[in-house]
């Protein structure tokens, strides 16, 4: 499947660009925990990387809407997380994670893959080149799916994965707290180059989600890569 | 305002319900930081009361303490969320809205983190058996009630032109919770506060001052009273390896002539030590003496072990001119059951941090106070003799062993193990932990009787009451421990033999019995040789 992006543009190169901050998290989960674990991490990141909707006013100033939050309990993990109250965003993430999970399950891999959340900025280029996407933050979650034999192991896994996710959340918050590069607040004309304005209740930074599955041969099949080639050829 | 929002988030996170707020695309005026955080008026009211119009500054942090209270009335501190301010001003941040955005980010992080600490799950389950309570106070951070091994997570920092705000949470790890009923706890003595200090460097920037424990700040939430500490003690005692407890016990023995000791309760309190660290409990009276004393000491952490004789006076001394005032109140407490002993005398457990500089402070203070504390000293001793016989430097010690048992009465089943583990625990630890303290002791040389410290053998301290040289046991402590250690082994050995005979008897009674009866003498001889 294709990477889910908030705006269509030429896919950025698979490797993070020069000044892009990259963070990698690793989790080992059981098959049915994949979705919730991914959602927990992605939502936590997006919670920090979303603002209320901007309302530009005449004088070049803007006001910001309010971001609501809600708690989500996980069914298969002893864990709860906070996400922004935006059904659209939740749907988008669930779709991406669902595809990831299917790919993990179906590709015949031994259950290893990674899902990436990349925040980028668009830079308008002159014709004939399409807009460039410059990533400034990349979160990669490496997943290792384990198979458990009995209910007892599953119970232990529930707790352990819950604890692991707690650690991951703390890690994420640490990174966020570094207050490193964030795109400047844009003017009204530029806002679409920085934020995803398609949602009606929140405004996350432009992001795209991609994933790759490591098949049993150890080679990684990058779906983004494939698309890049396709698009370049189509151009 | 940020403060209020912070408090709201924390408290709401512990209400036990799932929080759900809506996003609205158009801003409403009351949503600070662009986050929809419901304002529970009571919470804001409490926060306002606690802050009393002040803002956090160095040494004055806003703390929200979350504690758990069971239906039986036991309570335990679970977390402390602190918002601190330090002097590091970030001059580069000139644009106020950057700060605003960062504060907003910090609140989001807080939202995330409040779901991640163990207390969240506990608070979701609250109801019949226990409830979660909060308390807001403003002032010094009090991390003492969190038990051993608590962890700190930093939610975030934001630099502002007037200082740097840091928001962090210290949460208890040791969630094993035991009912204190089994330890025949006497009602807590009001005004006696047991502070537990660990010498772990706190990752958060909170200034850890063990003073100014504000009883009055309590806004109706559960207050960690003596009960808490006791519970903590007992809990930790039961969960931590006996060695730790023993370790601290022996440390207590290092106390100065007024056998500070370790009242039984102190033992477990000490048991709160981290596996490789020493913690000491410091008993102190209500803010006054405690606060002043520690302030003078200026150490954030108490360090068990190797305390010099002067310590008992120290706490009493500074600020109290020799500590005479507290002394008279001791007898009152002394009369009480074991656990109560923690009172005052344990002030002596006011250990200095294991740094030479602070030990110097200790020295001067102790020197000055020691002189003054002459009489209270004796008074303490006498009191202790009554209560903590084993640790008294007086001849009541013929019951040394027995007295040792008394303080450990509540840990009776564990006595043997405790003692057994002593030598095992202490020697390896003493070099690392003792030496700095020993060194400081030597340098101080203040506490007259305490100068008997030697570096290598932690037990070789003259003034150690129960194990002092001139007393009952005409041997040094090392030998004493070795001796003491043996009997249990022997008894178990003979028990084994007995068990064997029992088992075999069961199998084939008559002949085995005869055989064993024949061999009994051999067995006895064998046992004799072991002795």
Q: Where are the domains of chain B?
A: 1-179
Please tell me the predicted confidence (pLDDT) of residue A39. 92
What are the φ/ψ torsions at residue B408 (nearest 5 degrees)?
-95, 15
**Range B1-179: architecture per CATH:** 2-Layer Sandwich (3.30)
Most confident stretch, B82-96, B250-264, B422-436, B450-464: B82-96
Per-residue pLDDT of chain A (235 residues; tens, 9 = 90+): 334 433 334 444 444 445 778 888 888 888 888 889 999 999 999 988 888 888 777 776 777 777 777 778 888 888 888 888 888 888 989 998 988 888 888 765 567 888 999 888 888 777 777 778 888 889 999 988 888 888 888 888 888 888 889 889 888 888 888 877 788 777 777 788 888 888 877 888 888 888 888 765 555 555 544 445 545 554 4
Closest CB to A82: pick one of B24, B28, B112: B112
pLDDT > 80? residue B524: yes
More confident residue, B451 or B203: B451
Q: Which residues of A fall within a CB distance of 8 Å from B19?
A: 69-71, 82
Q: What angle do CA B442, B447, B453 make, to 5 degrees?
A: 45
Most confident stretch, B252-261, B432-441, B459-468, B473-482: B473-482
Q: Are the Cβ atoms of B115 and A67 closer than 8 angstroms?
A: no
More confident residue, B191 or B76: B76
In a domain, A210, yes or no: yes
Q: What angle do CA B458, B461, B462 make, to 5 degrees?
A: 165
Most confident stretch, A140-149, B230-239, B377-386, B404-413: A140-149
Please tell me the predicted confidence (pLDDT) of residue A28. 87
pLDDT > 80? residue B385: no
In a domain, A16, yes or no: no
What are the φ/ψ torsions at residue B8 (nearest 5 degrees)?
-60, -45
Confidence of residue B459 (pLDDT cuts 50, 70, 90): very low
Q: How far is B152 from chain A (nearest CA, A)?
A: 11
Domain count, chain A: 1
Q: Are the Cβ atoms of B34 and A201 closer than 8 angstroms?
A: no
More confident residue, B432 or B90: B90
pLDDT > 70? residue B41: no
What are the φ/ψ torsions at residue A130 (nearest 5 degrees)?
-80, 170
Please tell me the predicted confidence (pLDDT) of residue A122. 85
Q: DSSP assignment, residue A9? A: -
In a domain, A9, yes or no: no
- Token readout for B268 is 């477990």
Give the strand pairing for A21-30 and A132-146.
parallel
Contact B254, B307 (CB under 8 A): yes
What are the φ/ψ torsions at residue B169 (nearest 5 degrees)?
-135, 130
Q: Mean pLDDT for chain B?
A: 48
State the residue range of the domain holding A137: 21-223
Q: Which residues of A fall within a CB distance of 8 Å from B35?
A: 66-69
pLDDT > 80? residue B97: no
Confidence of residue B48 (pLDDT cuts 50, 70, 90): low
> CA–CA separation, B103 vs B9, rounded Å?
13
Q: Are the Cβ atoms of A82 and B22 closer than 8 angstroms?
A: no
> CA–CA separation, A204 vs A198, rounded Å?
9
The predicted model gives B435-464 an average pLDDT of 39
Q: DSSP assignment, residue B321? A: G
Q: Are the Cβ atoms of B156 and A176 closer than 8 angstroms?
A: yes
> CA–CA separation, B44 vs B47, rounded Å?
5
The predicted model gives B442-450 an average pLDDT of 37
Please tell me the predicted confidence (pLDDT) of residue A223. 52
B36 interfacial to chain A (CB closer than 8 Å)? yes
Distances (CA, A) of B134 to B11, B17, B188: 7, 15, 21
Please tell me the predicted confidence (pLDDT) of residue B90. 58
> CA–CA separation, A204 vs A194, rounded Å?
9
Q: DSSP assignment, residue B472? A: S
Helix, strand, or coil here: B451?
helix
The predicted model gives B152-170 an average pLDDT of 76
What are the φ/ψ torsions at residue A138 (nearest 5 degrees)?
-135, 125
Contact B159, B90 (CB under 8 A): yes
What proportion of chain B, given as a percentage, has pLDDT over 70?
18
Q: How far is A174 from chain B (nearest CA, A)?
A: 7
Which single residue is written with the structure tokens 């959602």? A39
In a domain, A81, yes or no: yes
The predicted model gives B61-74 an average pLDDT of 70
Buried b (16+ CB within 10 A) or exposed e, A7-32: bebbbbeeebbeebeebebebbbbee
More confident residue, B527 or B226: B527
Q: What is the 3-state secondary structure (H, E, C) of B215-236?
A: HHHCCCCCCCCHHHHHHHHHHH
- Token readout for B146 is 């969190």
Q: What contacts A197, CB < 8 A, 6 or more positions away?
A: A53, A54, A191, A203
Please tell me the predicted confidence (pLDDT) of residue A51. 84
More confident residue, B516 or A18: B516
Q: Which residues of B fall within a CB distance of 8 Å from A180?
A: none
Q: What contacts B41, CB < 8 A, 6 or more positions away?
A: none
A174 interfacial to chain B (CB closer than 8 Å)? yes
Please tell me the predicted confidence (pLDDT) of residue A42. 92
Tens-digit pLDDT profile for residues B465-474: 444 444 444 4
Q: Which residues of A fall within a CB distance of 8 Å from B112?
A: 44, 47-48, 81-82, 169, 172-173
Contact A54, A195 (CB under 8 A): yes
Closest CB to A166: pick one of B104, B116, B158: B116
B28 interfacial to chain A (CB closer than 8 Å)? yes
The predicted model gives B91-105 an average pLDDT of 69
Q: What angle do CA B144, B148, B150 make, to 5 degrees?
A: 80
Please tell me the predicted confidence (pLDDT) of residue B45. 63
Distances (CA, A) of B494 to B419, B434, B497: 20, 37, 5
Interface test with B, best of A37, A39, A52, A74 (most B CBs within 10 A): A52
Buried b (16+ CB within 10 A) or exposed e, B275-294: eebbbbbbbbbebebbbbbb
More confident residue, B81 or B488: B81
Q: Are the Cβ atoms of A71 and B34 closer than 8 angstroms?
A: no
The predicted model gives B443-460 an average pLDDT of 39
Closest CB to A66: pick one of B36, B112, B124: B36
Q: Which residues of A fall within a CB distance of 8 Å from B20?
A: 68-71, 85
In a domain, A74, yes or no: yes
How many DSSP H helices and E strands does chain A contain?
5, 12
> CA–CA separation, A235 vs A127, rounded Å?
13
Tens-digit pLDDT profile for residues B303-345: 333 333 333 333 333 333 333 333 333 333 333 333 333 333 3
The predicted model gives B424-433 an average pLDDT of 39
């Amino acid at each position: 499947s294709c990477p889910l992006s908030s705006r269509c543009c030429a896919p950025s190169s698979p490797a993070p660009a020069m000044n892009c901050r990259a963070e990698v998290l690793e989790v080992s989960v059981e098959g049915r925990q994949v979705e919730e674990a991914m959602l927990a991490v992605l939502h936590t990141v997006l919670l920090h990387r979303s603002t209320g909707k901007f309302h530009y006013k005449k004088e070049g100033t803007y006001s910001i809407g309010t971001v609501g939050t809600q708690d989500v309990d996980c069914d298969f993990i002893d864990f709860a997380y906070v996400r922004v109250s935006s059904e659209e965003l939740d749907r988008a993430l669930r779709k991406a994670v669902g595809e990831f999970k299917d790919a993990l399950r179906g590709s015949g891999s031994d259950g290893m893959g990674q899902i990436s959340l990349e925040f980028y900025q668009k830079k308008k280029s002159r014709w004939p080149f399409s807009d460039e996407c410059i990533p400034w933050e990349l979160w990669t979650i490496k997943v290792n799916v384990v198979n458990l034999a009995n209910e007892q192991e599953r119970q232990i896994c529930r707790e352990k994965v819950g604890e692991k996710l707690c650690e991951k959340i703390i890690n994420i918050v640490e990174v966020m707290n570094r207050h490193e590069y964030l795109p400047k607040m844009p003017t009204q004309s530029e806002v679409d180059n920085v934020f995803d304005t398609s949602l009606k209740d929140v405004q996350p930074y432009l992001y795209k989600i991609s994933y790759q599955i490591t098949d049993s041969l150890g080679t990684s099949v990058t779906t983004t890569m494939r698309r890049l080639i396709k698009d370049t050829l189509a151009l | 305002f940020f403060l209020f929002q912070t408090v709201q988030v924390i408290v709401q996170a512990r209400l036990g319900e799932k929080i759900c707020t809506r996003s609205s695309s158009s801003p409403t005026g009351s949503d600070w930081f662009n986050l929809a955080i419901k304002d529970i008026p009571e919470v804001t009211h409490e926060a306002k009361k606690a802050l009393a119009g002040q803002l956090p500054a160095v040494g004055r942090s806003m703390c929200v303490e979350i504690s758990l209270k069971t239906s039986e009335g036991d309570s335990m501190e679970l977390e402390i969320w602190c918002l601190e301010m330090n002097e590091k001003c970030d001059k580069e941040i000139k644009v106020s809205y950057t700060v605003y955005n960062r504060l907003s980010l910090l609140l989001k992080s807080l939202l995330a983190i409040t779901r991640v600490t163990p207390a969240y799950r506990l608070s979701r389950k609250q109801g019949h058996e226990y409830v979660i309570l909060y308390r807001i106070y403003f002032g010094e951070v009090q991390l003492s009630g969190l038990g051993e091994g608590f962890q700190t997570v930093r939610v975030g920092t934001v630099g502002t032109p007037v200082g740097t705000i840091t928001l962090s949470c210290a949460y208890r790890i040791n969630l094993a919770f035991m009912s204190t009923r089994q330890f025949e706890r006497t009602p807590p003595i009001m005004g006696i506060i047991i502070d537990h200090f660990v010498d772990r460097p706190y990752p958060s920037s909170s200034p850890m001052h063990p003073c100014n424990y504000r009883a009055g700040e309590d806004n109706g939430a559960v207050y960690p009273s003596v009960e808490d500490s006791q519970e903590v003690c007992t809990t930790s005692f039961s969960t931590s390896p006996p060695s730790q407890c023993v370790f601290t016990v022996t440390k207590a023995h290092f106390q100065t002539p007024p056998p500070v000791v370790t009242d039984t309760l102190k033992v477990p309190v000490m048991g709160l030590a981290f596996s490789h660290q020493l913690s000491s409990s410091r008993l102190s009276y209500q803010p006054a003496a405690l606060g002043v004393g520690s302030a003078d000491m200026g150490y954030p952490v108490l360090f068990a072990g190797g305390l010099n004789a002067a310590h008992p006076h120290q706490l009493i001394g500074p600020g109290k001119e020799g500590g005479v005032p507290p002394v008279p109140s001791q007898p009152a407490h002394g009369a009480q059951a074991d656990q109560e002993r923690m009172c005052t005398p344990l002030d002596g457990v006011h250990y200095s941090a294991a740094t030479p500089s602070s030990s110097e402070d200790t020295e001067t203070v102790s020197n000055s106070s020691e002189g003054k504390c002459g009489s209270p000293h004796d008074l303490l001793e006498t009191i202790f003799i009554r209560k903590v016989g084993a640790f008294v430097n007086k001849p009541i010690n013929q019951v040394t062993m027995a007295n040792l048992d008394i303080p450990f009465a509540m840990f009776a089943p564990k006595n043997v193990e405790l003692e057994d583990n002593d030598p095992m625990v202490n020697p390896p630890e003493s070099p690392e932990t003792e030496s700095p303290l020993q060194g400081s002791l030597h340098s101080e040389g203040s506490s007259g009787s305490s100068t008997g410290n030697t570096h290598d053998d932690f037990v070789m301290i003259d003034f150690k009451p129960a194990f002092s040289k001139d007393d009952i046991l005409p041997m040094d402590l090392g030998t004493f421990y070795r001796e003491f250690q043996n009997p249990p082994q022997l008894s178990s050995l003979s028990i084994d033999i007995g068990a064997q005979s029992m088992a075999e008897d069961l199998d084939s009674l008559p002949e085995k019995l005869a055989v064993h009866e024949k061999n009994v003498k051999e067995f006895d001889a064998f046992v004799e040789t072991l002795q």
